[in-house]
Chains A and B, each alone.
Chain A
């Protein structure tokens, strides 16, 4: 993948401004500023884990460090008993999986068509895709609720949950950017050899843009996995609620009656955050700015 980027993308500019190398003192100053910033960004996550393990809630300054006598896994079983982590995780998984599947299949086709094929309506489709990025989704919740839950009767169903997210437009955009970087001659050669467009897409283009798929998968994953408002509106029954919705309901209603309410909330928060953070840390090398920002020429 890296080779392709180098071969096709405009030559990457080395990311080291000259002045930095000349003044190491400045660089240290910058380093410590970044370090302090990073600690501010990471501390809530650290505190989330510490808080989820506390037997008795300890909000004092000493509570920042784990104390062996005050550690328990009880909060995890408490949140599991309240919102059933297994079931809600499966719901989140189905919701997210459906969106990923739709985006990978239909989003990929659309991205390829927009980048490499000349057909009627291409300009219109491209313009609509760009327009979608600036229409705030929440503004559509009322008509979507009317259509999907009231008119089509898809309340409390995975289909209703997935429908508005089925194809991630940002992923379509990323696919298009990647397919654009591939040389047109490659495709014309295959066409002359008589390959069908579907064959060209699956046999030639796809293997060349695997890293784009990873970026798009990651980006698409965090959308439905973290989404709260829409599944919250669609699912009124407990057995279909994704984890984010169940945990939010727990925060707003049930928590006050628990023995260590924050412990249970934070335990649920850790479970909700872990898959997204884990995937992201594992694949962060691929989550580079080129993929996302190639449309943002400064």
Chain B
């Protein structure tokens, strides 16, 4: 091989390297996942937005039906529907209870679990177990515990609310919020435990030298130290809330009583699939995403200062 050819080879290799990257085989390795994202997330996401601006309903297979552009008509229907407004209000109630409770409890429990205590493995397992268990399974036992003649009401005696928790207009949504907090807490504890590993130990030492109390050093060292994790936990908790479906569907028998525990996703199912209005359901979905993004954005802004 002459020197000129070798130089040209290296030159062309550098050129393909600049276009395709140093290891173009990575494109092949990543291709199935890229295809998966395109087919299962990107395209459906686009379709959801498209459907929300068109009239769309399920027709018999093979029948072609017109799907005219209707502008904001679907959104007008959604926004003037009292059931939808109630569902978004319910999610608001859910988030107000669930998010602060989740952040506070998971951080407190994670920092307690992070210290040297006996039976740490046992504690970790007990806090994670609800998270790894199917909602459908734990819903079964919560129905049993919180039914009118259930153990909780037996324990409370005269203090039990009438009608009972899950069929009470005022208690249905808070009960769901507490259920979800309990169910998901293990996952958030896990995130905080990871974040706590990165809080420099020296800060605790100097806080102790300065005579700070345990609570003071928790507030001044731990809380600011895990701030990034708190943002993540808050955003993930908001997303979990926006996804709420199984609990209102099973725990309160389809969003009852009187739609006081219905969630937007439950309405998407009822309107879109049960009542054959997928266009309306898509509009609810788009509004929900916008709501989640707004909340996440507001949270980021508040965190900044």
Contact = CB atoms under 8 A, between A and B. Distances in A.
Contacts of A218: 132
A61 B125 contact: no
B39 to A, nearest CB: 8
A67 B103 CA distance: 40
A297 B23 contact: no
A285 B41 CA distance: 33
Given A153-B61, A276-B133, A136 B289 contact: yes
A287 B194 CA distance: 12
A294 B109 contact: no
A47 B41 contact: no
B282 A143 contact: yes
A296 interface: yes
A136 B151 contact: no
A8 interface: no
B125 A252 contact: no
Contact of B229 (A12, A285, A298): A298
B135 A228 contact: yes
Given A20-B115, A143-B282, A233 B273 contact: yes
B72 interface: no
Given A119-B27, A298-B228, A290 B36 contact: no
Interface in B187-246: 190-191, 193-201, 204-205, 207-208, 214, 217, 225-229, 232, 235, 239, 242-243, 245-246
B141 A277 contact: no
A17 B117 CA distance: 11
B144 A142 contact: no
A294 B229 CA distance: 11
A16 B30 contact: no
Contact of A296 (B33, B122, B195, B214): B195
Interface string B19-54: 111111111011011101100111111011001000
A44 B132 contact: no
A136 B239 contact: yes
A226 B141 contact: no
A298 B23 contact: no
A151 B19 CA distance: 37
Q: Interface residues of B: mostly helix, strand, loop or mixed?
A: helix
Interface in A236-290: 244, 247-248, 251-252, 262, 265-266, 268-270, 272-273, 276-277, 280-281, 284-285, 287, 289-290
B116 interface: yes
Interface stretch (B3-11, B78-86, B93-101, B264-272): B264-272
B27 A121 contact: yes
Contacts of A277: 129, 132-133
Interface string B273-300: 1000010011001001100100010000
Q: For chain B, which range describes its interface: under 10, 10 to 19, 20 to 34, or 35 or more residues?
A: 35 or more
A80 interface: no
B265 A284 contact: no
A114 interface: yes
18 contacts: A15-B115, A45-B129, A51-B141, A64-B151, A119-B26, A136-B289, A140-B44, A167-B33, A172-B33, A228-B135, A229-B265, A244-B134, A251-B140, A262-B140, A262-B147, A266-B141, A293-B191, A293-B229
Interface of A: 12-23, 26-27, 30-31, 33-35, 37-38, 40-42, 44-45, 47-48, 51, 59-61, 63-64, 106-107, 109-110, 112-114, 117-122, 125, 128-129, 132, 134-147, 150, 153, 163-164, 166-167, 172, 197, 201, 218, 222, 225-226, 228-229, 233, 244, 247-248, 251-252, 262, 265-266, 268-270, 272-273, 276-277, 280-281, 284-285, 287, 289-290, 292-294, 296-298
Given A142-B282, A228-B135, A296-B232, 19 more contacts: A19-B207, A41-B185, A119-B21, A121-B30, A143-B43, A143-B47, A143-B51, A147-B44, A197-B29, A218-B132, A229-B246, A251-B143, A269-B137, A272-B137, A284-B128, A290-B194, A292-B194, A296-B194, A298-B198
Interface of B: 19-27, 29-30, 32-34, 36-37, 40-45, 47-48, 51, 58, 61, 109, 112-118, 121-130, 132-145, 147, 149-151, 154-155, 182, 185, 190-191, 193-201, 204-205, 207-208, 214, 217, 225-229, 232, 235, 239, 242-243, 245-246, 249-250, 253-254, 265, 268-269, 272-273, 278, 281-282, 285, 288-289, 292, 296
